[in-house]
Amino acid sequence: MPYTAVATSTTPVLIIYLLDISGSMSQMLGDKRRVEIVSDALQEIATEMVARSTKGELVAPRYRLAIYAYESQVHDVLGGIRTIDQFVRDGVPEFSPRGGTNTAAAFLAAENLLAQELPYIQTHPAPLICHMTDGEYQGDDPTPIVQRIMQMGTQDGNVLVENIFISDKILKQPVEDAFAWQGVLSEADLANDYARTLLRMSSPIPESYRLEMQEFGYNLQVGAPMLFPAQTRELIRMAFTMSGATPVA
């Protein structure tokens, strides 16, 4: 059964964050800049991952993290992959928005990293890429790269790709309650072409992840795409929660 391998200290799950830090991320969403909300959400999910990895004070390295922040260029924020116990010592980075939106370059970086890692993690849970952006890509279309990535995988399943779109123009009907929201049910729910592009770049949610999300109180539909409209902080929190929802021992 796919996506049932549990994240343990000997079979940790690899999670790659691709974070758009282009200039538009300095715009406000509510009373905070978008980039600050992303940092807060990253802090929150890191705390949750630590909580899920902790017995007493012992942090088991169940998660391996890579963070690529991108604008016109791509920056390896952690200097490679860090286990969650190493991440605990270093803390959550802060970001300074600037430049354009070279989404293809970010996914290419993720593809390169996966190509290096996958031979050694075949018995681990399927890796997950969590991509967060607030605007349409500039330059090359990332779709072919993402489709290649979605064909890569471990024995547990193909690489999962999650997209978080910080925009109030992604859905025709706004989400009023993040906990009651069932996910994007069809293309017809989406309000613009880039949202539809992101939909094609999003994996369906595995059942094991959906059940983990239920533990957090979320009510996503079976097979809903891993595409999240980040219209509010609650939705951003939900989307980042998904990125840490690999089953743990």
Partner 1 sequence: MPHIVTLNQETDTPARREYIGSVALTYLYDRSRDSQQAGGRGQDFIAFCGDDERLAFAVCDGVSQSFYGDLAARFLGEKLVRWLAELPFPDDAETFRAALSAQLAAWQPEAEALVAAQPIRPDLPPLLRDALMRKRENGSESMFLAALIDHRAGAFAACWMGDLRLRLFNAKGEELPLPEAHWETRQRWSSRFGAKNGAPQVLLMSLHSVARLTAHSDGFGSRSDMLKRFTLESLNALADELLSLPASDDLSLLDVALNSAPEQRASLETPVPQRMQGEPALCWQPVAGAEWYRVWLEGAGRAFTVDVETSESPTFLLKAPEGVYACRVQALSNHRAPSALSAAVHLEIAPAPEPDITRQAEPTRTKPVAVEKLVTAQASASAIGQPQAISQPKQDAPAVAEPFAWRLVTAIAAAISAGLATVWYFVHMR
Contact positions toward partner 1, by CB under 8 A?
A: 6, 8-11, 43, 46-48, 50-52, 54-60, 68-69, 72-77, 79, 87-96, 98-99, 102, 104-105, 108-109, 112, 123, 140, 248-249
Q: Are 170 and 192 in contact (CB under 8 A)?
A: yes
* CB of 33 vs partner 1, minimal distance in Å: 14
If the CB atoms of residues 45 and 198 are measured against partner 1, the closer one turns out to be 45
Residue 124 or 160 having the CB closest to partner 1: 124
Q: Which is nearer to partner 1, 67 or 175 (CB)?
A: 67
Structure token pair of residue 212: 């983990």
User: Sign of dihedral through CA atoms 46, 52, 57, 61?
Assistant: negative
CA distance 6 to 63: 11
Of 107 and 228, the one with the shorter C-beta distance to partner 1 is: 107
d(C-alpha 131, C-alpha 114), whole Å:
15
**Closest approach of partner 1 to the CB of residue 173, in Å:** 33
**Cβ proximity to partner 1, 10 vs 172, nearer residue:** 10
Q: How far is the CB of 109 from partner 1 (least distance, A)?
A: 5
What does residue 84 show for φ and ψ, rounded to 5 degrees? Answer: -65, -30
Q: What is the CA radius of gyration of the chain?
A: 17
Cβ atoms within 10 Å, residue 6 = 15
Name the token pair of 179. Answer: 């906990």
* Beta carbons within 8 Å of 74's beta carbon, 6+ residues apart: 68, 102, 105, 106, 109
DSSP per-residue letters across 222-246: TT-BSEEE-SSHHHHHHHHHHHT-S
Rank residues 113 and 128 by Cβ distance to partner 1 and give the closer one. Answer: 113
CB of 170 to partner 1, least distance (A): 26
| CB of 50 vs partner 1, minimal distance in Å | 4
Q: How far is the CB of 217 from partner 1 (least distance, A)?
A: 13
Name the β-bridge partners of 157.
154
